[in-house]
Structure 1
Amino acid sequence: MHHTTIKRVLIAGAVLAALAGCGSEPKEHANEALGTKAAIQPAPPTKEAVRGLPGMPPVLDPTDVYAADRPNRLSPVVKDFPARVYVPNTQSNTVSVIDPMTYRVIGTIPVGAQPQHVVPSWDMKTLWVNNDKGNSLTPIDPKTGKAGKPISVHDPYNLYFTPNGKYAIVMASLDRELVFRDAHTMKRVKTEPVNCYGVNHADFSLDGRYFIVSCEFSGDLLKVDTQKMKVVAQEKLPFHGAMPQDVKISPDGKKFYVADMMAGGVWILDGDKFTRPTLLPTGKGAHGLYISRDSREMYISNRGEGTISVFDFTQNRLTRKWYLPEGGSPDMGGVSADGKVLWLSGRYDSEVYAIDTRTGIQLARIPVGSGPHGLAVYPQPGRYSLGHTGIFR
């Protein structure tokens, strides 16, 4: 399915209201630029700091794990990188490079077989293309946009980094392994076999001492001790045929959210206690989870119905639902550095969507290669990357 290079959608007021979903913006935020104010103000400094994983940068704000991700707050490491959207096309074995200012593809990078995700390294200097079937990682220099020599890594479906920057964690989905590797050389350090099928996504606790992993083909969740590099708990989701996908922690660090494309919603889990989670229905094919730059909202892509649900952390409820014109298959992506645009791949439609995060209006549909998946918007704010398409702290 292809479209013209740019399809801008101008929508009248009545349709705009429908697209925006469940009502208008609260009056107190009506004239506020998106992401310019934190939903939760930083707590006053205390003598008691968060005891994080050894070597991990200090937690900026114990009430908001995303405190470093404010609009355009770019690290000196990435501030001179050109703004780009890197789209791995799983069936074309390429990465499409989009200029977000023009909504045009400005380059195509050949990579290995079945590239699944484009992952920023912990130090944010490199983008790693996960060539799953090609059993390799292709490095891209985000300053020049040039690809380097691939590194041999088996079954790299997805890639994460420990919060102290010491190890990369390869989500070896078909191998049924979590493979801990040196974060720079990618040399294997430890292999942790898992008793589930399809490890794919993860996120870390506030203190970085553990992370939660989803297993999409067996419907399990894992809790992994970061320092010991060991699975310490496992549970099966209470839904027959569950297929958990993306994982994100709440701003206050108290809950984990896990998208489930078969259950049609998001599981809410107490990570510390690792008790039975509860399901929040969002839509058919719930898949990707992305946090707004003000830590107030989470965008949930519902791939099976062409919609995006908006969850408000401060209200603890869904507030809006956006519908893509002509439908689509919104999958993985990220939020622009200024917080104004949500970028998502159209997995089954060979296109990428740019969506206004204030109104839910589609700004563009951009044709790319076949099977676009885990696109990375880069650069983004933050001090370091935990992996996937961009989880920054």
Structure 2
Amino acid sequence: MPPPLDPHDLYSADRPNALSEAVKAFPARIYVPNTLSDTVTVIDPATYRVTATLRTGHQPQHVVPSWDLKTLWVNNDLGNSLTPIDPATGTTGRAVAVHDPYNLYFTPNGRYAVVMASADRQLVFRDAHTMALVKTVDAGCGGVNHADFSPDGRYFIVSCEFSGDLLKVDTTSMKVLARQKLPLHGAMPQDVKISPDGRTWYIADMMANGLWVLNGDAFGPPTLLRTGKGAHGLYVSRDSRRLYVSNRGEGSVSVLDFATGRLAALWRIPHGGSPDMGGVSADGKVLWLSGRYNSEVYAIDTSDGHLIARIPVGHGPHGLCVYPQPGRYSLGHTGIFR
């Protein structure tokens, strides 16, 4: 696994416009999987206009950058396939058969892909390049969904949306090391993100309306930090100082200060909305989020939280991917770069 550029900041390779040689020639685009339309809408972030609509498999959930940054994988959950997109040309390739790919991650050494098979209740390890099956792990929980990796890559923590569990998984042995149920009846954990210093983990929870905060190494009971109704997606600012939290149930974004562990701001989308998944622009100036229940995409100014643009897309927009983004390699989801 490539070590962090700065041992005190896991996101030190993600500075504004610090694009790797592998992606420098790619045109900047926003890729929006429309779950209910079986399409991916492509947006030019310079003009805020739709440039293309790509057909995919059934129920595309997330658009995921590959570990080597060269391919975008569309996770066709009910279509049981992954559709590759060439980010250089914006064209799709031949789909690869993969069962129940709700979400997709990559081990930090780039060797394996980890399919979050939500309905199958499995973590499926595959070859990161060919997607050939390597090992299937019974998750023992409902709705395996999102994840993030420890600083040394030895383990990752997974959220189980429908059973309210968290899993700690050994990356090398591909085994579940520990599990815990969140201390809230009806908990519904979503996105997972580790702090820049690698000490604190944050797990968004739509029913708890906030973030569960815990020490990943100890994996003890978490504490709850309220952010807003329907807390869902988590995104780190380009200077590693803030965490953006999309509150899907109230149409807002909370801003967490990593240094203090407290909320620094609350940005409300005018006339409401349903901000879901997305990412930060390469220069760090715009937060892009899908509007899950409103068939739209939001472009939000990260300097003060004002809405720059509201762009109509297909139905059920979900795991939006901003591409390219700074970083040396991708750990998956809509873009976790280190």
TM-score (structure 1 length as normaliser) = 0.86
- Paired residue for 1:308, among 231, 236, 253? 253
Helix, strand or coil at the partner of 1:130:
strand
1:314 offset after TM fit, Å?
A: 1.2
Kindly indicate whether residue 145 of structure 2 is the aligned counterpart of residue 200 of structure 1: yes
Helix, strand or coil at the partner of 2:267:
strand
- Does structure 1 retain, via aligned residues, the 8 Å contact 2:169–2:175? yes
Kindly indicate whether residue 245 of structure 2 is the aligned counterpart of residue 292 of structure 1: no
The amino acid across from 1:109 in the alignment is L
1:58 offset after TM fit, Å?
A: 2.0
RMSD of Structure 2 on Structure 1 (CA): 0.4
Higher RCO, 1 vs 2 (CA within 8 Å, ≥6 residues apart): 1
1:327 offset after TM fit, Å?
A: 0.2
> 5 Å matches for 1:246-261?
246-261=191-206
> Matches of 2:5 and 2:324 in 1, distance apart?
20
> Matches of 1:277 and 1:62 in 2, distance apart?
25
> Matches of 2:3 and 2:210 in 1, distance apart?
33
Q: Deviations over 1:101-151 (max 9, x none)?
A: 000000000000000000000000000000000000000000000000000
> Matches of 1:140 and 1:173 in 2, distance apart?
23
The amino acid across from 1:382 in the alignment is G
- Paired residue for 1:176, among 102, 121, 135? 121
Kindly indicate whether residue 223 of structure 2 is the aligned counterpart of residue 278 of structure 1: yes
Q: Deviations over 1:9-68 (max 9, x none)?
A: xxxxxxxxxxxxxxxxxxxxxxxxxxxxxxxxxxxxxxxxxxxxxxx1122211100000
* Paired position in structure 2 for 1:92: 37
Q: Which runs of 5+ in 1 are unaligned?
A: 1-55
> Matches of 1:91 and 1:230 in 2, distance apart?
34
> 5 Å matches for 1:1-393?
56-393=1-338
Q: Which has the higher strand share?
A: 2
> Matches of 2:30 and 2:175 in 1, distance apart?
34
Q: Which has the larger radius of gyration?
A: 1
> Matches of 2:259 and 2:14 in 1, distance apart?
18
Structure 1 residue ranges (4+ consecutive) displaced by more than 4 angstroms after TM superposition: none
- Does structure 1 retain, via aligned residues, the 8 Å contact 2:4–2:13? no
> Matches of 2:140 and 2:302 in 1, distance apart?
39
The amino acid across from 1:330 in the alignment is P
Q: Deviations over 1:270-310 (max 9, x none)?
A: 10000000000001000000000000000000000000000
1:352 offset after TM fit, Å?
A: 0.1
> Matches of 1:66 and 1:288 in 2, distance apart?
17
1:363 offset after TM fit, Å?
A: 0.2
The amino acid across from 2:131 in the alignment is M
The amino acid across from 1:99 in the alignment is D
> Matches of 2:208 and 2:80 in 1, distance apart?
31
Aligned pair count reads 338
> Matches of 2:264 and 2:4 in 1, distance apart?
29
Helix, strand or coil at the partner of 1:331:
strand
> Matches of 1:136 and 1:391 in 2, distance apart?
22
Helix, strand or coil at the partner of 1:68:
helix
Q: Deviations over 1:141-179 (max 9, x none)?
A: 000000000000000000000000000000000000000
> Matches of 1:222 and 1:256 in 2, distance apart?
13
Q: Deviations over 1:315-351 (max 9, x none)?
A: 2210100000010000000000000000000000000
> Matches of 1:70 and 1:225 in 2, distance apart?
29
The amino acid across from 1:87 in the alignment is V
1:195 offset after TM fit, Å?
A: 1.0
The amino acid across from 2:84 in the alignment is P
Helix, strand or coil at the partner of 1:273:
coil
The amino acid across from 1:182 in the alignment is D
TM-score (structure 2 length as normaliser) = 1.00
